[in-house]
Amino acid sequence: MPSPIDPWLSGSVALDVALAGRAPAASIAARQARRLVELLASAHRHSPTYRRLLAGRELHTVQLAELPVAHKAALMGDFDGWVADPGLRLDGLRRFVADRRRIAEPFQSRYAVWESSGSSGEPAIFVQDAAAMAVYDALEALRRPVLRPLQRWLDPWGLADRIAFVGATGGHFASTVSIERLRRLHPALALRLHGISFLQPVAGLVEQLNALAPTVIATYPSAAVLLAEERIAGRLRASPSELWTGGEDLSAAGRDFVQQAFGCPMANSYGASEFLSLAFECGHGRMHLNSDWAILEPVDAQGRAVAPGELPATTLLTNLANHVQPLIRYDLGDRVTMWPGDCPCGSCLPVIEVQGRCDDTLRLGAARSGPVSVLPLALSTMLEEEAGLFDFQLVQVGPCELLLRTGLCGSAAEPALRRARQVLAAFLESQGAPGVRIRCRSGEPGRAGRSGKVARVVAAAP
């Protein structure tokens, strides 16, 4: 069972989150500045890596831009020196996340642990203590937009809702751990909060949603579009009252298509394995950064700050909530634009625009019933979890032909690609797309898309 929630800690954090949500800009900036000093002081005291990096600096006056940029691969390579608890060791954490029976179980009875999907070619493990989880819980509960105000007033605890999360439910991923943790902490939620795997064929996914008849569906934009297609075709009868999306780019056309198909309000959010709840949409459709707990620095290719309204090469994250595993000027890989000016909603939290993951849904084969749709995150999950391949790009070059390329070279590449081809072929057959030809190439890094990240799954040109 997960460690029980500390009512005093959770209550005090929730109160601060509620007050800051409508606080003036100066108050939000003061919270950010105070928490940055606290983070740097904690990192200096407890993390051997940051003790070296911060040595000789005046922590109350240091400017973030003076500190080096942190990259996932380097931090993971120095994991035991990076973390602030000497009892945390990478080998033990890797054994923990390899056991799917332990999803949402507290590590060492005190830490929430999840792993990233490896979308940048390098998987990572993230550890959160009770203080960080209290922040994520409060942001999720109090800053998610209210899409049905009357229903919230009549049922403030959402006791009448049935929530379906459609995603990768079989691994220690942030969203899966978060949902299972809530189910374990609040037994009443176990009957109302359901995880449905998108690794199954679309027909099975639709059947489960029809049987559950959720009032809320939470998923990724690409999956939401696929479900909208199934609803328009008459196969998906589930009629949710709300849709929550996040984790990928949501285009204006995609939003319009999904909303027309379901006829219900929809809200998008922005989060990452490194910080669960970075930003939420307001009622005016603008994304507000939770800047009282996270700092984002849009920078150019040389690491220099870009002006508001300018598209950066990448974005650096400083997580003010997590002192166990300090993330200070961490390269997220997303391209986040900061927009100046006030929002009509009245919030002083900064408005941002995100270009994150933007992979494609593949339409494969030419069966009588039409091509088989396969979600990009399902493909990535299979290649990572079952084949152990993280550095890849999968490109559709024909109705029944795929090119799988990797930056791996030499002796490591051949067995990795052979295993990946076997796993991928078996998965596609299970999805109803047998006989897809899969060609493999090594020594070919994938090409970056408009988000700045490598597009891992690329559909054939129309």
Amino acid identity for residue 254 in this structure: G
Report percent pLDDT > 70 for the chain: 93
Confidence at residue 248, expressed as pLDDT on a 0 to 100 scale: 83
Give the domain ranges of the chain: 7-355, 362-458
Kindly tell me if the per-residue pLDDT of 456 is higher than 50. Answer: yes
pLDDT surpassing 50 at residue 166: yes
b/e per residue, 426-448, with b = 16+ CB within 10 A?
Answer: ebbeebbbeebebebebebebee
Are the C-beta atoms of residues 165 and 196 closer than 8 Å to each other? Answer: yes
Q: Which residues on adjacent β-strands are paired with residue 275?
A: 272
DSSP 8-state class, residue 393? E
Nearest alpha carbon to residue 115 among 305, 297, 388, 370: 388
CATH topology of domain 362-458: GMP Synthetase; Chain A, domain 3 (3.30.300)
Of 262, 383, 299, 347, the residue nearest 65 (C-alpha): 299
- pLDDT at position 316 is 97
- What are the residue ranges of helices labelled H in 48-166? 48-53, 72-77, 79-82, 90-97, 130-143, 149-154
Separation of first and last alpha carbons in the chain: 49
Condensed to tens digits (0 to 9), the pLDDT of residues 349-404 reads 999 999 867 789 999 986 556 789 999 989 998 998 889 888 899 999 999 999 99
Interval 239-252 mean pLDDT: 90
Q: pTM score, two decimals?
A: 0.87
Confidence of residue 411 (pLDDT cuts 50, 70, 90): confident
User: For residues 3 and 111, what is the distance between their CA atoms, to the nearest angstrom?
Assistant: 8
Quote the pLDDT of residue 450.
45
Q: Summarize pLDDT for 282-334 with one digit per residue, the tens.
A: 989 999 999 999 999 999 989 999 999 999 999 999 999 999 999 999 999 89
Give the whole-angstrom CA distance, residue 448 versus residue 121.
12
If one counts every other C-beta atom within 10 angstroms of the C-beta of residue 229, the result is 17
The CATH code for residues 7-355 is 3.40.50.12780
pLDDT in tens, 55-64: 999 999 999 9
